Amino acid sequence: MARAAAREKPPAGALQSVLERLALRFGGRFSTAAAVREQHAHTLTWIANEPADCVVFPGNAAEVAEIVQLCAEHDVPVVAFGTGTSLEGHVNAPFGGVCVSTERMVEIVSVHAEDLDAVVQPGVTRKRLNDHLRDQGLFFPIDPGADASLGGMAATRASGTNAVRYGTMRDNVLGLTAVLASGEIIRTGGRAKKSSSGYDLTRLLVGSEGTLGIITELTLRLHGTPEAIAAGICPFRSVADACAAATATIQSGIPVARIELLDALQIRACNAYSRLGLAEVPTLFLEFHGSAAGVAEQSARFGEIAADLGGGPFDWATRAEERSRLWQARHDAFWAAGAMRPGARPMSTDVCVPISRLADCVTETQADIAASGLVAPIVGHVGDGNFHCLPLIDMANPAEVAACEAFVGRLVECAIAMGGACSGEHGVGQAKMKHLEAEHGAGAMAAMRAIKRALDPQNIMNPGKIVIP
């Protein structure tokens, strides 16, 4: 973070001019209230809240462009905000400036059922889109757990429980509209399922965390609702055995839709929070999609793999209510973990490794947690080698905070040494910038900085995140 001096807070006069003009232009859709500003900065984790100087609520791309043009004119930072569910400080404003909230940009512009795509504004949440699609026999599969906005999910390259079968946001955004740092509106990609023309600007902006532009519209890939869905749980004697079962399932070609790991501590938390009665041992949560016969065959094949590794019994259900209760408990894992230690803050972090190293990485991580004296449940999208740790930290205890920070650093180093990534789906934000060069190398980091300087020469777009130009 030593390069952070490349950006400073704007002069008071320039900022005041921007605030006055925005207040005049947007009226009731503009706020400088402290509570509103803090609500639109980082609130979910232990990262300090750094609010912008104001929050503006545009309704379309043209209004976003107006805001960005004004900020560019006065060299004032701009930070985009979706629903605030990100976990690495993405929406903080360390240099002040203007927060652009997309919460009023909630139009589902069009659905093309025959082409399996939809066009939406960025403030539409994944649950609202799927509610809209349900009667058409379609769904959007990316499910990060929280009811995040689709614009925010694209900006952080989110994935979630379905990624093992349906991919991440990178794979499901066909095109988008974005406002660049100059205020210019550009369109990338389109509704065609593939293109080999020009640079892939869509993929560049997906995952850029608002540092290259603000997404104002997305064209999304949709999928047909499966004929049959079955979900189930399978306990194991150890985390290593559960990871081995997940790896064998993927390697054997079973098209599992979801395969999630909860360690014994997380199961205990879920039992208490979601009123489950599961055995408090490492457990896989699974879901299979397809025809009735196909789902039954997939479930049986997984059961055989689990039994070979000492797992089971594998209990599965096809009733929607049972599946919903199971997955709601999985989605509530963050809150369940937090409830284990009242007054502590959950420090959610993730890494991703090749699935062949998953058991090694999770086992080493558990040993490190024990040695560090931390309370830290583990959950993971283990079908693609991605898992999360949730240390519960007493922020008033400096030694505990330091122990957690050191643990996260070792976790990232372990993952990178195994050919993995410092984050599989949370993104970089403020928290993981220092790990990027170890993962990508100096040359790649220089290329990232060059892209940032080319598209945002004033460094006004979400400064202090991912790279410092």
- CATH of residue 13: 3.30.43.10
Same domain, 131 and 272: no
Residue 190, domain CATH? 3.30.465.10
Q: What digits encode the pLDDT tens for the residues 371-429?
A: 999 999 999 999 999 999 999 999 999 999 999 999 999 999 999 999 999 999 999 99
Q: In whole angstroms, what is the distance from residue 370 CA to residue 372 CA?
A: 5
The alpha carbon dihedral of 295, 297, 303, 308 has a sign of: negative
Amino acid at 2: A
Is a pLDDT exceeding 90 seen at residue 318?
Answer: no
For tokens 């599992």, the residue is 256
Among residues 224, 250, 274, the one where a domain terminates is 224
Same domain, 343 and 266: yes
Same domain, 191 and 242: no
- Provide the H-helix boundaries in 226-343: 239-251, 264-274, 292-308, 320-331, 333-339
Phi/psi for 402 (5° steps) reads -65, -40
Q: How many domains does the chain have?
A: 3
Is a pLDDT exceeding 60 seen at residue 437?
Answer: yes
For tokens 């400088």, the residue is 32
Same domain, 291 and 393: yes
**Is the separation of the CB atoms in 306 and 312 below 8 Å?**
yes
Among residues 180, 198, 224, the one where a domain terminates is 224
- Residue 257 per-residue DSSP state: E
**Is the residue at 436 inside a domain?**
no
**Is the separation of the CB atoms in 350 and 339 below 8 Å?**
no
Same domain, 319 and 281: yes
**Is the residue at 89 inside a domain?**
yes
Q: What digits encode the pLDDT tens for the residues 110-151?
A: 999 999 999 999 999 999 999 999 999 999 999 988 899 999
Same domain, 372 and 385: yes
Q: In whole angstroms, what is the distance from residue 76 CA to residue 59 CA?
A: 21
Alpha carbon 142 to its chain's center: 10
End-to-end CA distance of the chain: 11
Average pLDDT over residues 98-115: 98
**Is the residue at 438 inside a domain?**
no
Is a pLDDT exceeding 60 seen at residue 107?
Answer: yes
Same domain, 94 and 132: no
Tokens of 243: 């990871």
- Residue 65 per-residue DSSP state: H
**Is the residue at 464 inside a domain?**
no
Q: What is the pLDDT of residue 325?
A: 83
**Is the residue at 465 inside a domain?**
no
DSSP labels, 356-384: GGHHHHHHHHHHHHHHHT----EEEEGGG
Q: In whole angstroms, what is the distance from residue 338 CA to residue 325 CA?
A: 20
Q: What is the pLDDT of residue 146?
A: 84
- Global pTM value: 0.93
Query: In the sheet that 378-381 helps form, which strands lie side by side, from edge to edge?
Result: 315-317, 228-235, 283-290, 256-262, 378-381, 386-389, 349-352
- Please report which confidence band the pLDDT of residue 323 belongs to, taking 50, 70 and 90 as the band edges: confident
- Please report which confidence band the pLDDT of residue 452 belongs to, taking 50, 70 and 90 as the band edges: very high
**Is the residue at 445 inside a domain?**
no
pLDDT over 90 percentage in the chain: 86
Residue 361, domain CATH? 3.40.462.10
64, 66, 67, 71: CA torsion to nearest 10:
140
CA–CA–CA angle 323, 328, 332 (5° rounding): 155
Same domain, 234 and 319: yes
Same domain, 326 and 411: yes
Among residues 224, 244, 266, the one where a domain terminates is 224
- Residue 465 per-residue DSSP state: S
Q: In whole angstroms, what is the distance from residue 158 CA to residue 143 CA?
A: 8
- Please report which confidence band the pLDDT of residue 353 belongs to, taking 50, 70 and 90 as the band edges: very high
Of 158, 210, 231, residue with least CA distance to 386: 158
Is a pLDDT exceeding 60 seen at residue 60?
Answer: yes
Same domain, 397 and 418: yes
Same domain, 142 and 98: no
Q: In whole angstroms, what is the distance from residue 280 CA to residue 296 CA?
A: 27
Q: What is the pLDDT of residue 324?
A: 84
Residue range of the domain that includes 355: 226-427
Q: Which residue spans within 108-255 are E strands per DSSP? A: 108-112, 117-120, 138-139, 173-180, 185-189, 213-221, 223-224, 228-235
**Is the residue at 466 inside a domain?**
no
Same domain, 147 and 260: no
**Is the separation of the CB atoms in 365 and 371 below 8 Å?**
no
For tokens 């905070």, the residue is 401
Residues 6+ away with beta carbon under 8 Å from 454: none
Of 337, 263, 343, 250, residue with least CA distance to 301: 250
Q: Cβ–Cβ contacts within 10 Å for residue 308, how many? A: 13
For tokens 């900085």, the residue is 449
**Is the residue at 444 inside a domain?**
no
